Amino acid sequence: MSLTAKDFEVVIGLEVHAQLATDTKCFCSTRSRMPEGKSVGEEAVNVNTCPVCTGHPGTLPVLSKKAVEYAVRAGLSIGCTINSKSIFARKNYFYPDLPKGYQISQFDKPLCENGFVDIETKGLGQKRVRVQRIHMEEDAGKNLHMSGFSLVNFNRSSVPLIEIVSHPDMRSAEEAVEYLKALHAIDTTTGVCDGNMQEGNFRCDANVSVKPKGQKEFGTRAEIKNVNSFRFVEKAIEHEVDRQVELILGGGKVVQETRLYDSDTNSTRSMRSKEEAHDYRYFPDPDLPPLVIDQKWVEEIRSKLPELPAQKRARYVADYGLSAYDAGVLTGSGSLAGFFEQVLSAMEKKGKKKTDVAKGAANLLTGEVARLTNEAGIEVTESKLTPAHLADTLELQLSGGISSTNAKLVITTAWENGDSAAKIVDARGLRQVSDKGALEAVVAQVIAANAGQWAEFTGGKDKLLGFFVGQCMKASKGQGNPALFTEIINTKKSQG
């Protein structure tokens, strides 16, 4: 019996690198990030450096307590055990962006172990992805290749990282993306990571293998490096699965190797084989004593954990009556959920009950705002749009002051120029017209212009109602109140 592509099962494990959002680097007091959340790579080159993070001979690392706190927080937020004693090790390899010739990392005794992330899967409901470990390490610098020579930027050198290593529990590219999104939401909600994937402060390597369905042993895996967006993770894995299945069906064998994903060509290519793999010669770093963690401190950090996305999602559904989908989108990013809650608070100050306005706020955020952030590739908190814009717009919409169509326009405009909702409404004449006389005139005009359809409508073709409301809205440049238009049209119809 010969196998076909459908007979294969996919096995995926992810290694996620998250830059910790501490103000200073992991082993020195050099600035690690800009206050507004810009990563160091964005600034002028080699400005965030000191003798320690550029590896000057004779310098020594001193561990940042804040970085440990963030790493512990990351561990606790996914249910990890925090080890009372963990060891920093040197990972030795030569590369120009690694100033000491080794990276300080953790090897056989990591800080956190045995966590999990629950994800929503299509068809299978909730699924638990186990996390093996989280260890701390320092980031490397960045090579800049010029024509004929290369330069190194050490701004990123020794910025604290955590590596979150999952078990090979995912069975499709979609699941991998769901896991990555869930983890991203947790780490941005707890504030341990800024989560900007384009700037590389949340990045991932994927271990992918395939095996005939029902076979217990895993196939040989390939590690795909350099996948830096949710979309690329999905595409890279899908591509790699296809490659491996084709290889096996063609009588070939998957070899253990590291492959690099190229988003331009949507393909992976071999970077190094198992034989060429580095021997990192790990050994305990003699410059750093074992990291001993007081469990009391761990409990203190645990007690300060913010509400996590899963808890938040459940609360939004239960308390605000949001759909699971809307709640999921809102809690999918720490900054979006925070924004949502600020909008609700602002509405409360305007005398509205949160439960009455939550749905409307959610619609604007998961609709128009989500579209804008996705297009721009930034978090809502990085835009000119503020919770006040949203609250004012929502208030106008709910009171009938503007139409829902124009509410979207107000938001788009505020996103672009930051003007207040009132100013935008006035400047663009968006205030909704609810003056019955004026609207009746519009309806009369539309009926006159569409006499044929009107005859059909009054003759019983009810579904033309939408057409007439739409024409009225168009004629009123979106300012007419659609509910009133409907009422007037129906009255006219019954009058014949």
Partner 1 sequence: MAHTLKAVPGIDEIKAYATVKQVHAAYNAGKLTPSELTERYLKRAEGTKTGAYLQVLRDRAMAQAKAHDAVLKREGKVPPGQPLFGIPLGIKDVLTMDGVRTTCGSRMLENYVPPYTGTAVERLERAGAISLGKLNMDEFAMGSSNENSAFGPVNHPTHPDRVPGGSSGGSGAAVRAGLCVGALGTDTGGSIRLPASYCGIVGLKVTYGRVSRFGLVAFSSSLDSIGPMTHTVEDSARILQAMGGFDPRDSTSADVPMPDFIASANRDPDWSKVRVGVPKEYFIDGIDPEVRSSVQRALDWYKSKGAKLVDVSLPHTKYAVATYYVVAVSEASSNLARFDGVRFGLRPGQGEEDLTAFYKKNRTLFGPEVKRRIILGTFALSSGYYDAYFNRACQVRAKLKEDFDRAFEKCDVIACPVAPTTAFKRGEKTGDPLQMYLMDIFTIPASMAGMPGISIPCGADKDGLSIGLQLIAPQFQEERLFSFGAAFEKAHPEMQSLGGAAQ
Query: What track of x and - describes contact with partner 1 for positions 57 through 86 (by CB under 8 A)?
Result: xxxxxxx-----------------------
Decide whether 22 or 166 has the Cβ nearer to partner 1: 22
Q: Which residue in 99, 115, 328, 387 binds partner 1 (CB under 8 A)?
A: 99
Residue 102 found at the interface with partner 1 (CB under 8 A): yes
* Pair 155, 46: CB distance under 8 Å: yes
In the complex, minimum distance from the CB of residue 27 to partner 1, in angstroms, rounded to a whole number = 9
Q: Which of 2, 94, 146, 494 binds partner 1 (CB under 8 A)?
A: 94
Question: What are the CB-based long-range contacts (under 8 Å, 24+) for 461-466?
Answer: 465/489, 465/490
Considering the complex, what minimum distance in angstroms separates the CB of residue 58 from partner 1? 5
CA distance 155 to 138: 12
Closer CB to partner 1, 288 or 378, in the complex: 288
Shortest distance, CB of residue 143 to partner 1, whole angstroms? Answer: 10
Q: Which is nearer to partner 1, 292 or 448 (CB)?
A: 292
- The single residue among 3, 65, 85, 96 that binds partner 1, judged by CB under 8 A, is 96
| Nearer residue to partner 1 within complex by CB, 102 or 468 | 102
Contact characters 22-61, partner 1, x per CB under 8 A: -----------------------------x--xxxxxxxx
Query: 58 or 251, CB closer to partner 1?
Result: 58
In angstroms, give the least distance from the CB of 106 to partner 1.
Answer: 15
Site string for partner 1, 274-293 (x = CB under 8 A): -----x-xxx--xxxx----
Does residue 152 bind partner 1 (CB under 8 A)? yes
Site for partner 1 in 282-341 (CB under 8 A): 282-283, 286-289
Stretch that binds partner 1, among 79-87, 94-102, 219-227, 419-427 (CB under 8 A): 94-102
Q: Which is nearer to partner 1, 283 or 325 (CB)?
A: 283
Judged by CB under 8 A, the residue of 90, 156, 221, 235 near partner 1 is 90
Residue of 25, 33, 73, 100 that binds partner 1 (CB under 8 A): 100
| Neighbour tally for 282: CB within 10 Å | 16
Q: How far is the CB of 95 from partner 1 (least distance, A)?
A: 8
The least distance separating partner 1 from the CB of residue 256, rounded to whole angstroms, comes to: 15
- What is the binding site for partner 1 (CB under 8 A)? 51, 54-63, 90, 92, 94, 96, 99-102, 152, 279, 281-283, 286-289
